[in-house]
Structure 1
Amino acid sequence: MTDYLTLLYPWTKALHIMSVITWMAGLFYLPRLFVYHTERSVPGDSRDEVFQIMEHKLLRYIMNPSMIATWLFGLMLLLTPGIVDWASVWPYSKMAGVLVMTWFHHWLGLRRKEFVRGQNTRTGRQHRMMNEVPTLAMVVIVLSVVLKF
């Protein structure tokens, strides 16, 4: 099995990077949709319906599959011999960043359900502020992997 993972390493790494990029795009865009949804519509109007469709499709068809792919290929990289130095700090700081991004993903899913029920209580400004969470997690992850501290 480990020989197979070593052989697949370049492909696994490439697919991991592509899925991360796709996931991050969604993590940046969905809160922005929430800002516009909050500021430009009211529950039940035609814009509310359009925003709900956009948010649903982004989460269900782009973000969820790319998060799963990111985790799958990331775990394959973890299991590939010689890739991770468990004596270093970087695998743990990267893992913390990934857990924060995963939490944020699920937090966004809960916020989307609030919009569906017409129960959003957050302002556009609050959604803008939460949009910084994936940025901070990305900084931690990239610095961890590149600098390998």
Structure 2
Amino acid sequence: MILWLKALHIFVMLAWMAGLFYLPRLFVYHAMTTSQEAKQQFIIMERKLWWFVTPFAILTLVFGIWLIISYGAAWFAASTWLHVKIALMIGVYAYHFYLYKLLRDFAADRNRHGHKFYRVINELPVLVILAVVILAVVKPI
């Protein structure tokens, strides 16, 4: 049973991350365009993508909690690597909702950032996810 939970946790996390990596890329293109027609199309694409990946974010959390419960309290208490991973994941969830704020700003024509800002925020989560994967697989601490 635990292996199935792990597989589902990894799958929904991958689906979620794919969306989190693509949404800021849409913001890059959105920030670069001057066409009102293109801006409206980006608003639709960004909203649909955010709402498509949000259930994967929820399922990532559900399967993660289910795994912790399955392993038990003693395992959780002894798993320092998991505590660090959870702290990093709280940051990823904050990032997820920050992207929603940015999406709303674009939809209301209140974008205050240039395409370079969106390029940077598109790349930063890669490092966090790398750390999360290393923690989960290698368990260095």
Structure-1-length-normalised TM-score: 0.88
Aligned residues: 139
Greater percentage in helix: 2
Mapped contact 2:24–2:121 kept (Cα < 8 A) = yes
Q: CA RMSD for the aligned pairs?
A: 1.5
Structure-2-length-normalised TM-score: 0.92
Q: Give the CA deviation at 1:85.
A: 4.6
Structure 1: 5+ residue runs without aligned partners? 1-7
Mapped contact 1:20–1:66 kept (Cα < 8 A) = yes
Tell me which residue corresponds to 1:111: 102
Question: Is 2:66 the counterpart of 1:76?
Answer: yes
Instruction: Give the residue type in structure 1 aligned to 2:16.
Output: W
Structure 2: 5+ residue runs without aligned partners? none
**Secondary structure at 1:54's aligned position in 2?**
helix
The 5 Å alignment of 1:1-149 reads: 8-41=1-34, 45-61=36-52, 63-81=53-71, 84-148=75-139, 149=141
Task: Work out the CA distance in 2 between the residues paired with 1:135 and 1:41.
Answer: 29
Mapped contact 1:84–1:91 kept (Cα < 8 A) = no
